Structure 1
Amino acid sequence: MKLLVFGQTGQVARELQRAAPEARYLGRDHADLTNPAACAAAIRASGAQAVINAAAYTAVDRAESDTATAQLVNGDSPGGMAQACAAQGIPFLHVSTDYVFDGTGTAPWRPEDPTAPINVYGRTKLAGEAAVRTSGARHVILRTSWVFSAHGANFVKTMLRLGAERSHLRVVADQIGGPTPAKGIAATLLTLAAALRDGATGGTHHYAGVPETSWSCFARETFAQAGMDVTVEDIPTEAYPTPARRPLNSRLDCAALATDFGITPPDWRAGLAEVIGELKGA
């Protein structure tokens, strides 16, 4: 399958390159993500049999003051990509986020649950979802959460860096979700792309790590696996103010993905062990 991927240096894109090196990857130097027409033109010129959008504006706090750019990258360009795929009759796969929900309650969010994002990042990602759904393309929207890998900026790498500098860290304990290895997201996208090519029905699905945990417990497990003696103190969200509000409940119900495609949630602890091993060997 001739695959075109938007994204080159992000966590998921890097893992896609490992798993599918034969695909074509468009970084920001070859695909202007603030220009939906240019993204659509790249698809028309590619001859691709399927397209994955693994690129996004992911600077959650900066998005609060850079709304226009976040909307172009997260909202408008995915719509342009999907419309181009519809015109070419090829599948389109788009990565989205738990931030489309408001984070209330304690039940895992199902794909069909009402959305109500509480920050600009979530609103622009939701706009992208809507644009994909109305494009006419055969598509999958894959929502995920708390992505980590050995690449780029993420929580695991931040904790390891801070833990090397300090023996005591204060970490938020009342936000609950599922850390998700980028490697698993990449493998899932490739499986879904092949299924769509073969005529499977797409839609919106969730893919996130298990078991559910808090950021503070995620930090403790990171230090334990890395063999670092760091004390983690639990703090509430209000003790760590940020420009963008964060949802307290980021749990995602992944049952539909297992039922429809046989893809089960990954154990994030095993994924963490792989990432720490890779970082230690770097």
Structure 2
Amino acid sequence: MKILVTGAKGQLGNELKELALKYPDYRFLFTDVEELDITDAKTVNAFVAADQPEVIINCAAYTAVDKAETDEESAFRVNATAPANLAKAAKKHNILLVHISTDYVFDGKVYLPLKETAPTQPVSVYAKSKFAGEQEVLKHASRALVIRTSWLYSAFGNNFVKTIMKYGAERGKLNVVFDQTGTPTYAHDLAKMILEILPAAKEIKGVQIFHYSNEGVASWYDFAKAIIELSGINCIVNSIESKDYPRPAVPPFYSVLDKQKIKETFGIEIPYWRDSLKDCIRRLGAG
């Protein structure tokens, strides 16, 4: 199976690279903006026509959530225009598109695990751009999986885990919000799941939305406490309210994703968030 991966330098893209050797039946072509500018339709069409992949995994995204508030054009170009280009090219060549989306498409005001059919209400510019990307895939793709995930972290790039470890070690005391609830997602687990389900996913007709995160529920405070504990850093973590840590982009206050659909459709088991965090910290050389 020939697989084109976009956004290969990001967290998920790097995890897919690391797993690639374990899947000898898959032939990967990893690209980032230097090799393939997915915001340019002509470039995408020419690249896909020449390469003829069976699957496109779109890991590319504008993820600077707060910066997007003052850089709307860039956010929409990467998060909405690019998925539209990929969806159109995928349809033209009968390619399965796997597109990654986010819990930010919800406003977080419903305190129940969110199913794929739950009403969407994006609030921030980032959220609106990612929701627009979903809509473009739904509109233009003929075969696609839209996978919403949350609180992504990994051994690569910049993320909450690395930030907490860095500042925890430097400062010895951290204040972290306790009133935002969701589930951390280890990009390694997400990448592995995607590669495992591809044979079955290729048989799916139309475009379907799925939710995936690790199992369990946590606040950012819980997450930070676990990071400090598992990494063995001497640091006090204090809980604060979101109003005491204002951000340009308003996050969803509750974004626990219901994963029953993806578990039943593909017969997968999902690791508990704390177990996956322990593995990530081990890979980072701590704990």
TM more than 0.5: yes
- The letter for the 2-side match of 1:279 is L
Q: Where in structure 1 do 4 or more consecutive aligned residues deviate above 6 Å?
A: none
Structure 1 counterpart SS, 2:140? coil
Given candidates 207, 214, 219, the residue that maps to 1:209 is 214
Confirm or deny: 8 A CA contact 2:146 2:210 kept in the other structure: yes
The residue number in structure 1 matching 2:193 is 188
1:248 and 2:258 matched: no
Normalised to the residue count of structure 2, the TM-score between the two structures is 0.94
Shift of 1:79: 0.9
TM-score, length of structure 1 as denominator length: 0.96
Q: 2:102 aligns with which of 81, 92, 97?
A: 97
Relative to structure 1, the CA distance from residue 109 to residue 262 in structure 2 (aligned partners, 3 Å threshold; closer, same or farther) is same
Q: Report the alpha carbon displacement of residue 266 of structure 1 after superposing the two structures with TM.
A: 2.3
Q: Give the Cα separation in 1 of the matches to 2:82 and 2:183.
A: 28
Q: Which runs of 5+ in 2 are unaligned?
A: 22-26
User: Aligned to 1:238, which of 232, 238, 243?
Assistant: 243
Question: In structure 1, what is the equivalent of residue 129 of structure 2?
Answer: 124
Distance 1:116 1:50 in 2: 30
Provide the secondary structure at the position in 2 that maps to 1:51: strand
Q: Displacement, 1:168?
A: 1.1
* Deviation digits for residues 220-261 of structure 1 (CA, Å, limit 9, x no counterpart): 111111111211111111111111111101110000001111
Structure 1: gaps spanning 5 or more residues: none
Partners in 2 of 1:36 and 1:126 — Cα distance? 20
* 8 Å contact kept, 1:34–1:69: no
User: After superposition, where does 1:64-79 map in structure 2 within 5 Å?
Assistant: 64-79=69-84
Q: CA deviation at 1:165?
A: 0.6
Q: What's the offset of the Cα at 1:103?
A: 0.7
- Give the deviation of 1:44 after TM superposition: 1.9
2:19 counterpart residue number: 19
CA distance in 2, matches of 1:272, 1:113: 28
For 1:137-216, what aligned pairs fall within 5 Å after superposition? 137-197=142-202, 199-201=203-205, 203-216=208-221
Preserved contact between residue 7 and residue 58 of structure 2 (Cα < 8 Å): yes
Aligned-residue offset at 1:40: 3.2
Separation (CA, whole Å) in 2 of partners of 1:263 and 1:175: 27
Q: CA deviation at 1:91?
A: 0.5
Match in the other structure for 1:36: 41
Cα-Cα RMSD:
1.3
Residue among 55, 65, 84 paired with 1:50:
55
Please say which of residues 33-42 and 94-103 is displaced more in the overlay.
33-42
Distance in 2 separating the partners of 1:258 and 1:7:
26
Q: Tell me, what secondary structure is at the counterpart of 1:4?
A: strand
For residue 118 of structure 1, report the CA deviation from its aligned partner: 0.9
Name the structure 2 match of 1:267: 272
What is the alpha-carbon distance in structure 2 between the residues aligned to residue 39 and residue 69 of structure 1?
A: 18
Mapped to 1, the partners of 2:41 and 2:242 lie a distance apart of: 36
1:19 is aligned with what amino acid? L
Distance 2:131 2:94 in 1: 24
1:110-141 Cα offsets, whole Å, 9 max, x none, are 10111111101110101110110111420000
Contact 2:116–2:211 (Cα < 8 Å) also in 1? yes
Does structure 2 conserve the Cα–Cα contact (< 8 Å) formed by 1:174 and 1:248? yes
Q: Which amino acid aligns with 1:257?
A: I
Query: Which segment is superposed worse, 188-197 or 83-92?
Result: 188-197
Q: Sequence identity of aligned pairs in percent? A: 39
Cα distance in 2 between the residues matched to 1:40 and 1:233: 51
